[in-house]
């Protein structure tokens, strides 16, 4: 870029030493002139969304909630997974390599992929309440990407941060569970989302979770108070109807994602 500008603007007869000095200084002046450097693009390439090695914390630190979600779902997108969530479907549909299949090709999701998906999910779930609140304070929803970031933060905090007239899901605004759920409200939900929503209904009544991952996930929700005396008798008739709506949709999508015995998880939280 610098050499091109020098050849274009400079006179033909010029001291070679001066040419050398100007060529060295011109890149420093590019931002002032309004020219973009290639450095940011190179920096982005240093932190891809998919890794063929085991992911480390260094690969995840500083990522946005949106990036973490994309990283986890890229693993399944490479296997042809179709996404019910609109923003994920829009993102992956714009990628030249993405080929959605009628059924995810599980053979393309390696053991390393599954381990990395779990690492990403665990890292995401462990983000503290203070960290999530900082996202809400610092992110201005002035771009589509930032709007997604704000929605993801609302979902993790269990409290809607947008305006009252905006469309939102029950995961983003749990107060919507105070009314009868309609199937149309869940059209954007994956099986993972539906599992989280079911757990959210129980969490609102104080149910303790055996899963360490769910304990960590709900620690960011200020209204959640685990009660060792909890029983399902606390569920209201509305709660039960909403759980039935969720289970019905889970059944249509292939059945609910389940736990192993002895408090072990079968990886459902790392799913798409």
pLDDT of residue 40: 38
pLDDT of residue 267: 52
State both tokens at 238: 């509305």
The Cα-based distances of 28 to 11, 31, 137 in angstroms read 21, 7, 34
pLDDT of residue 164: 81
pLDDT of residue 112: 97
Q: What is the pLDDT along the chain (272 residues), one digit of tens a residue?
A: 544 444 444 444 445 554 444 445 544 444 334 443 344 344 445 789 999 999 999 999 999 999 999 999 999 999 999 999 999 999 999 999 999 999 999 999 999 999 999 999 999 989 999 999 999 999 998 999 999 999 999 999 999 988 888 889 999 999 999 999 999 999 999 988 999 999 999 999 999 998 887 888 888 999 999 999 999 999 999 999 999 999 999 998 887 765 433 334 445 454 55
pTM of the model: 0.74
SS3 label, residue 265:
strand
Q: Which contacts (CB < 8 Å, 24+ apart) does range 59-68 have?
A: 60/119, 60/120, 60/123, 64/135, 64/149, 65/124, 65/127, 65/135, 65/149, 65/152, 65/153, 65/156, 66/145, 66/148, 66/149, 66/152, 68/120, 68/123, 68/124
Distance separating alpha carbons of residues 83 and 76, to the nearest angstrom: 9
């Amino acid at each position: 870029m610098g050499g091109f500008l020098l050849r274009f603007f400079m006179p033909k007869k010029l001291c070679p030493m001066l040419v050398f000095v100007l060529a060295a200084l011109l890149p420093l002046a590019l931002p002032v002139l309004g020219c973009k450097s290639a450095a940011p693009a190179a920096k982005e390439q240093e932190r891809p969304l998919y890794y063929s090695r085991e992911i480390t914390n260094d690969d995840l630190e500083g990522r946005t909630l949106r990036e973490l979600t994309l990283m986890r779902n890229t693993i399944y997108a490479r296997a042809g997974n179709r996404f019910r969530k609109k923003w994920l479907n829009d993102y992956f549909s714009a990628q030249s390599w993405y080929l959605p299949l009628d059924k995810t090709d599980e053979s393309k999701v390696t053991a390393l992929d599954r381990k990395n998906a779990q690492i990403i999910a665990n890292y995401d779930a462990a983000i503290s309440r203070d960290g999530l609140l900082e996202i809400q304070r610092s992110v201005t929803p002035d771009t589509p990407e930032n709007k997604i970031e704000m929605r993801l933060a609302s979902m993790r905090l269990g409290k809607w941060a947008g305006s009252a007239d905006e469309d939102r899901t029950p995961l983003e605004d749990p107060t919507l569970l105070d009314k009868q759920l309609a199937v149309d409200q869940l059209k954007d939900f994956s099986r993972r989302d539906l599992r989280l929503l079911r757990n959210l209904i129980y969490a609102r009544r104080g149910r303790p979770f055996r899963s360490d991952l769910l304990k960590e996930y709900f620690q960011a929700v200020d209204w959640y108070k685990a009660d060792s005396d909890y029983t399902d008798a606390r569920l209201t008739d509305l709660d039960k109807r909403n759980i039935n709506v969720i289970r019905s949709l889970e059944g249509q999508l292939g059945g609910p994602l389940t736990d192993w015995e002895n408090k072990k998880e079968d990886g459902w939280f790392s799913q798409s």
